[in-house]
Structure 1
């Protein structure tokens, strides 16, 4: 193709060379994103070094064809900036090149998105948000949508209504990204994380956790997304709060395998292991309570402490009459125990690094001890040792598995709403219920 510059003609095929440069940069990203398709997971520690080698080869070709900048300066700057942006670390040169690209061609959506990613790596979230928003002005695309979803969820507000709005906006943007390309696993990861933010920012609902896992399951169908350590880390967080502890530990471990230098999955796995060890020990020892004190506790348990649940039935919030039969902890079956109520006394609380859920051990009059996890409870409104607690229609899980060299075994009752509990003969009030917002560690999703 003939190209005229400063009145001089050139026979160089600039269009063909630009296509070659574009394909080379795309192949660089394919090499990075498909690394574990072509390399065993044991090579994870070498991934960034291998990508950097590919980057150097790509940059050499770009530098050898710098004269292409005179053919399409915006596109050339974009390609070189995008190449430099392939590594996890921030590149000032990439930022400068991408900034030039969008100035030369403000409609270059890909450059706006890449510049936004570059700013994000440098913790300049405000400028990153501006870039993604500018990209959307020139064309709706999944990258801008899911990036803005992440940013919306990372914003902080002390006002509960504003928190809900930010989480809701993030969820809607993530859904829109998935709709644009249902086969892109990265968008499904962002949608799963948006649901997880909703779990902590709006309501700790088991339905929301299932929506998280459904999105992560869709993400795993994408070979690129499946090797993303963030997917497995956030899936582990979800499984932890769904109290699928063994699968949660497996997912933390998988996240560590894909990125061995990332310490957070290892730390979270250690914390979860310690939490499960503590529950196992405290349930088995009835809160490490001395024999005399334990007997005093057992003898003080009386059906009168059932309070409003003591008459054989109660009226639900919807106005329905629900029958309730008092049963022993031993009589419960795994799953939902409809029309049953259990009564016991608190013998200890269990320390939980996150504070969610509030966990304590409950003993009944026969000395049977179980763990109880309470979600959606306001800070500092948990029960204390000696409190009599009645739980209607308890949901029960029998936890028993081995992990590494440790064995975990205990019975667990999950309480979604603290207001269903009767404590010391009285139903808990509205002030005990609260949506707890927790900071979820995120690297890029």
Structure 2
């Protein structure tokens, strides 16, 4: 598989035995879709603090997410018969919407894409299923192109009320591809993934999603240097 090369990490030997450090690092690795390293970090946090439930829960949730994702891709969303046949075959090019026409990106089957960036290309396919882990990030979609190849499209920064439906035509421009190959505790998770940073870059059934498809910004402020509030002095009677 193709994974980003991490910057050099310098960890204090004592901090390396801190379960909080491994949990926080695993959270970042999961966001970067370095799933095997994330699982290993969560396992390490579990070993260092067997009584702490949080890394155990996250480890279980990530394993379940990857297992369900690979199973749904392999089984084409578990669709059967007439419904499955109805999603087979090329998607009409007019459903590229604003991405179509002269000067637009070139429609490309999934097997022609390379790992990494694919500028000036667009994948057009049908939605087979959608899946979200606990917490809703990422929102994952199973996509089947006109030739029957499948990939997982992981969409970040999607609003909680936005989603796609089975059978929708989905166009993904400039696809960022990772060929995932992860092994953990005797399980193997192998699939093509396309990472999308915003739902607003997509085209669904020939149209751009509305602005409400993007998750609202969340601002958190803290000032660890601020002095604690002074208790109010009771007023004498």
Equivalent position of 1:302 in the other structure: 92
Q: Which has the higher contact order (CA 8 A, sep 6+)?
A: 2
Aligned-residue Cα RMSD (Å) equals 2.0
The count of residues paired between Structure 1 and Structure 2 equals: 215
Equivalent position of 2:234 in the other structure: none
Residues 72-102 of structure 1, C-alpha deviations (whole Å, 9 max, x = no match) = xxxxxxxxxxxxxxxxxxxxxxxxxxxxxxx
Equivalent position of 1:255 in the other structure: 45
Equivalent position of 1:264 in the other structure: 54
Residue 293 of structure 1: which of 57, 64, 83 is its match?
83
More strand, by proportion: 2
Query: Could you tell me how far 1:296 is from its partner in structure 2?
Result: 0.8
What TM-score results when the alignment is normalised by the length of structure 1?
0.46
For 1:420 and 1:345, how far apart are their aligned partners in 2? 17
The reply to whether residue 429 of structure 1 matches residue 221 of structure 2 is: no
Alignment of 1:21-100 (within 5 A): none
Query: Could you tell me how far 1:250 is from its partner in structure 2?
Result: 0.6
Query: Could you tell me how far 1:417 is from its partner in structure 2?
Result: 1.2
The reply to whether residue 415 of structure 1 matches residue 196 of structure 2 is: yes
Secondary structure at the aligned position of 2:158 is classed as coil
The reply to whether residue 239 of structure 1 matches residue 20 of structure 2 is: no
Equivalent position of 2:139 in the other structure: 358
Equivalent position of 1:389 in the other structure: 170
Larger radius of gyration: 1
For 1:299 and 1:236, how far apart are their aligned partners in 2? 39
Secondary structure at the aligned position of 2:65 is classed as helix
Equivalent position of 1:184 in the other structure: none
Equivalent position of 1:311 in the other structure: 101
Secondary structure at the aligned position of 1:313 is classed as coil
More helix, by proportion: 1
Residues 190-219 of structure 1, C-alpha deviations (whole Å, 9 max, x = no match) = xxxxxxxxxxxxxxxxxxxx9xx76x934x
CA contact (8 A) 2:23 2:42 kept: yes
The reply to whether residue 369 of structure 1 matches residue 150 of structure 2 is: yes
Secondary structure at the aligned position of 1:298 is classed as coil
CA contact (8 A) 1:328 1:342 kept: yes
What TM-score results when the alignment is normalised by the length of structure 2?
0.85
For 1:355 and 1:265, how far apart are their aligned partners in 2? 18
Residue 72 of structure 2: which of 282, 285, 289 is its match?
282
Equivalent position of 1:230 in the other structure: 20
The reply to whether residue 336 of structure 1 matches residue 117 of structure 2 is: yes
For 1:396 and 1:300, how far apart are their aligned partners in 2? 21
Query: Could you tell me how far 1:224 is from its partner in structure 2?
Result: 2.3
The reply to whether residue 398 of structure 1 matches residue 179 of structure 2 is: yes
CA contact (8 A) 2:89 2:147 kept: no
- Unpaired runs of 5+ in structure 1? 1-209, 315-323, 438-445
For 1:371 and 1:280, how far apart are their aligned partners in 2? 9
Secondary structure at the aligned position of 2:91 is classed as coil
- Unpaired runs of 5+ in structure 2? 219-237
CA contact (8 A) 1:417 1:433 kept: yes
Equivalent position of 1:327 in the other structure: 108
Secondary structure at the aligned position of 1:307 is classed as helix
For 2:74 and 2:127, how far apart are their aligned partners in 1? 14
Query: Could you tell me how far 1:271 is from its partner in structure 2?
Result: 0.6
Query: Could you tell me how far 1:386 is from its partner in structure 2?
Result: 1.3
